Chains A and B, each alone.
Chain A
């Protein structure tokens, strides 16, 4: 199973190289062994999803919404999420249903801090939901999450903690920006106002 996936991955890489498509979009491939080092490795949720993580490996999509090319089963198991890094780079990944965006970012080597490791005791995994439509699909933040968002750097009206956004089918296509000190951007469908 795994071997066949890895060989498919190799094939895909060769194909992409010949097309020169890699330069456009960053993606990550990590050998399985590296998961041992994940800071969230000891969380039961992460372990439960390691099976799903392997599936992600052959699933590098160059755009956030090419589910059509995927097998039917995997469509149900993962959703497409795009992180926008501090320097504006778009990083599309696939996230298994049930996994938090903080875990997903770390599994994919995306630089999202997680000082308290998802225990709602810091604000370092602050992300900005870039489309109002998706923000409204999320459940309202709890008091505890709001307490931490109070302290988040560069807070916006569509800010959430990455550890509290859990992948669900209706979030497929969500875009999340990692706030940067120097960058301002508009959230689609929302006119930001000062706090």
Chain B
């Protein structure tokens, strides 16, 4: 690039001496991790960024969260892989923070550690029967159909029932409903895991209840996903006419939220357009509003398995600032079902040495700077430690949300460097990548570098092409590590 293209550097580059780079470690290679890496590399010309991940594969939820029938959403992988291939950036998979290497060690090795490892657990309802067989979290189910190596053994029973209850009405709930209801011929050409495709082909599920605590004005999904599920071929949609009635408070909410207004309109339109009865054998999707789960009941003839969900009717109550929450009314009804998928939110898991707010399920932070405790004291900051993505702000938002989230965290890093808050390359030499790899080698951790992921990628695409799929994911740890080391 000519001198004319030289860009005005917003943040003073920290160090341009290649032999003493600013050493940065990012934990987690999903959108939050990669957007952070991209921005740090761009802002700090003298930085060296290592992205580590628990899995042998990069891209986090873009790989294991985004539904297989949303290939366009995964295009962002192209951008992330260009970041990983940059000279000053490395990806190392199969490194688990907390067991392969501790947070304390990472902070010793690097000037800056950014935790972007997301939310790998689930919120729980805390109601009776939640651990019955057949009650799964939607996250597990999504991991299963997306070929996540830890979702391989879920093996949900889709054959002994015709009815599934999905708790929650957000996008994950709609994804799960769509995967269960869509003709499998349409899924067969996606990158859905083959074990899931086989199970779905044999599935006897015909009827799905999507249960939400609040009404159609408050549904947490987005229009694209709703439009898709409403548009499934030959699907009977049921929405109770009475549920569509709106109150002045609802109107206020819609006035203030374009997305809620559009979601409501889509639901109202769908309700008006559908016949009152399903035709015989037709698959059914029932939107159940104003109900909250009360308990799961065990089957009489199939010990240990769920056979019914009791729901409590709810009513909305205003809590100020235009928000309404659901309150139980003490009236109950129930739904018989053979499988329950709880789609009520993900939850982050802390690691040793990391301040964590259990109530909010996030790391206490100010603009991405990790705070030493939850006391609300904004001055006690963990030097050189930052968060981004779901671990920072909770499990909501879309891929693009991480763009702004990363921008904020990297701005904090830059500010701290400028103000001399951090250990600098001048004041302290850090071992960085070499030190990390040495520790991992000593512990016999088999690191999967980006080149090894590329072997996995190539192999998945090769197998996929034989089956008319964009890729066939290797869905066990053994297969992944075997191909990685070939």
Seen from chain A, the residues whose Cβ lies within 8 Å of a Cβ on chain B are 13, 22, 27-30, 37, 39, 87, 89, 109, 113-117, 119-124, 143-144, 146-148, 150-151, 153, 155, 181, 194-195
Contacts and interface: CB of A to CB of B under 8 A. Distances in A.
A39 B81 CA distance: 11
Contacts of B398: 122-123, 151
Contact of A87 (B10, B75, B259, B399): B10
Interface of B: 1-2, 4-5, 8, 10, 70, 72-73, 75-76, 78-79, 82, 222-224, 227, 256-259, 262, 398-401, 403-404, 407-408
A27 B4 CA distance: 7
Given A113-B400, A147-B224, A29 B2 contact: yes
Contacts of B400: 113, 115, 122-124, 151, 153
Contacts of A120: 72
Contact of A39 (B72, B79, B223, B401): B79
A115 B80 CA distance: 9
Contact of B5 (A29, A89, A115): A29
State the main secondary structure of chain B at its contact with A. helix
B404 A153 contact: yes
Contacts of B72: 116-117, 119-121
A155 B259 CA distance: 11
B462 to A, nearest CB: 20
Contacts of A123: 398, 400
A27 to B, nearest CB: 7
A148 B73 CA distance: 12
Contacts of B223: 143, 146-147, 150
A28 B78 contact: no
Q: Shortest 3 CB-CB distances between A and B: which pairs?
A: A121-B72, A119-B72, A147-B223
B216 to A, nearest CB: 16
B258 A122 contact: no
Contact of A115 (B75, B258, B262): B75
B227 A143 contact: yes
Nearest to A155: B258
9 contacts: A28-B5, A113-B400, A115-B76, A121-B73, A143-B223, A146-B223, A146-B262, A153-B401, A194-B256
A96 B227 CA distance: 34
A147 B70 CA distance: 15
A113 B403 contact: yes
Given A89-B8, A121-B72, A124-B400, 20 more contacts: A27-B4, A39-B79, A113-B403, A116-B75, A117-B72, A121-B224, A122-B399, A123-B398, A143-B227, A146-B262, A147-B223, A147-B227, A150-B222, A150-B258, A151-B222, A153-B400, A153-B401, A153-B404, A155-B258, A194-B256
Contacts of A143: 223, 227
B27 to A, nearest CB: 22
B254 to A, nearest CB: 10
